[in-house]
């Protein structure tokens, strides 16, 4: 299917049978077995609850697809619990609606959360269009739990010539999207360097974005977790800002081919194995969990993730 235009800038989830025994012994054995089952069950449930409370979640961008079942199977096999599903403009009347509904229906049946994914740099200059042609038609379908926006204002020419104005317009856009969401959660993708961009005289763009939305995903694209240029290091400032503001924060990781340049190669797990990626993601989870609002990793995207070899 075709989704809304996507920015092209590099940035780039036995039963055992018993023998017979005397009635009295049988009763005692049954009672003891029942008690043992209760005790073991209590321990297992406690462990499961603890794991659920401490293990960060997984999310996955799904910009396009041809087989909804394969997307859901991929999510389940990789421990992904949330899908960001690409949604075209005017979804309620779009020819793509049956395709989107099929994926969402299958995903929900599998216990996955599904948020609508969209965004374009042009939204910064025309927030009314974004509200009228994307937010409202998307909400009208009743398919999604929340909205996930990837606008990327830094890809516009105005970012270098009129940055402060573009920053202001971007924040106004976020305000409009949140208001139009009708109370639904709105999550925004941000680069790891937003903390270096001024927003007004006393604030930064990462914090002003976080103040407006329900959660953020930091595009901290590196294929190594540790080190001075690893995922944890470049995401640290944004993780700290999110923790200070009490906002849930995910860390985005890339799996698609970005180019042959070393700067591009280090930003993606493309060409590497799932085993190595899993090891690095585990290190990211371990390090980022020190921040109280850390919510897990988001993998970009379903196409690249599915193509990775074991």
End-to-end Cα separation, the chain, in angstroms: 28
CA distance 37 to 40: 5
Q: What are phi and psi of 121, to 5 degrees?
A: -55, -30
The answer to whether 55 touches 292, Cβ cutoff 8 Å, is no
Would you state the CATH architecture of domain 57-306? Alpha-Beta Barrel (3.20)
Q: What is the pLDDT of residue 56?
A: 79
Q: What is the pLDDT of residues 237-249, one digit of tens each?
A: 999 999 999 999 9
HSE-up of 268 (CA within 13 Å, CB side)?
A: 22
Q: What is the pLDDT of residue 89?
A: 98
Domain segments of the chain as ranges: 15-54, 57-306
Q: What is the pLDDT of residues 260-285, one digit of tens each?
A: 999 999 999 999 999 999 999 999 99
- Could you report the average pLDDT of every consecutive run of 10 residues in the chain (310 residues)? 35 29 33 34 34 66 98 98 98 98 98 98 98 98 98 97 98 98 97 97 97 98 98 98 98 98 98 98 98 98 98
What's this model's pTM, rounded to 2 decimal places? 0.83
Beta strand pairing call for 57-62 and 146-149: unpaired
H or E stretch at 132 = none
Q: b vs e for 121-141, b when ≥16 Cβ sit within 10 Å of the residue's Cβ?
A: bebbeebeebbebbbbbbbeb
Read off the DSSP letter of residue 162. S
Q: What is the pLDDT of residue 42?
A: 37
H or E stretch at 208 = helix 205-212
CA distance 128 to 109: 34
């Amino acid at each position: 299917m075709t989704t809304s235009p996507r920015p092209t800038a590099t940035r780039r989830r036995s039963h055992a049978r018993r023998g017979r025994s005397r009635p009295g012994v049988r009763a005692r054995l049954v009672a003891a077995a029942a008690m043992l089952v209760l005790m073991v069950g209590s321990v297992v449930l406690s462990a499961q609850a603890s794991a659920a409370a401490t293990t960060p979640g997984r999310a996955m961008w799904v910009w396009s697809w041809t087989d909804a079942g394969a997307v859901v199977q991929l999510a389940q096999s990789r421990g992904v619990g949330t899908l960001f599903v690409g949604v075209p403009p005017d979804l309620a009347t779009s020819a793509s609606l049956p395709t989107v509904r099929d994926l969402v229906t299958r995903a929900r049946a599998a216990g996955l959360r599904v948020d609508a994914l969209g965004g374009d740099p042009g939204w910064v200059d025309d927030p009314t269009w974004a509200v009228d042609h994307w937010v409202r038609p998307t909400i009208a379908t009743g398919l999604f739990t929340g909205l996930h926006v990837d606008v990327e204002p830094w890809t516009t020419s105005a970012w270098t010539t009129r940055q402060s104005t573009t920053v202001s317009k971007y924040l106004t856009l976020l305000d409009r999207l949140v208001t139009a969401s009708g109370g639904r959660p709105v999550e925004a993708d941000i680069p790891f360097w937003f903390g270096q961009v001024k927003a007004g005289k006393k604030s930064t763009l990462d914090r002003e974005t976080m103040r407006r939305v329900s959660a953020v995903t930091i595009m901290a694209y590196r294929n190594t977790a540790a080190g001075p240029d690893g995922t944890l290091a470049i995401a640290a400032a944004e993780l700290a800002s999110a923790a200070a503001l009490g906002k849930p924060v995910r860390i985005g990781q890339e799996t698609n081919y970005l180019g042959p340049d070393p700067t591009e190669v280090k930003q993606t797990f493309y060409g590497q194995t799932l085993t190595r990626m899993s090891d690095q993601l585990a290190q990211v989870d371990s390090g980022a969990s020190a921040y109280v609002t850390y919510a897990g990793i988001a993998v970009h995207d379903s196409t690249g993730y599915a193509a990775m070899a074991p």
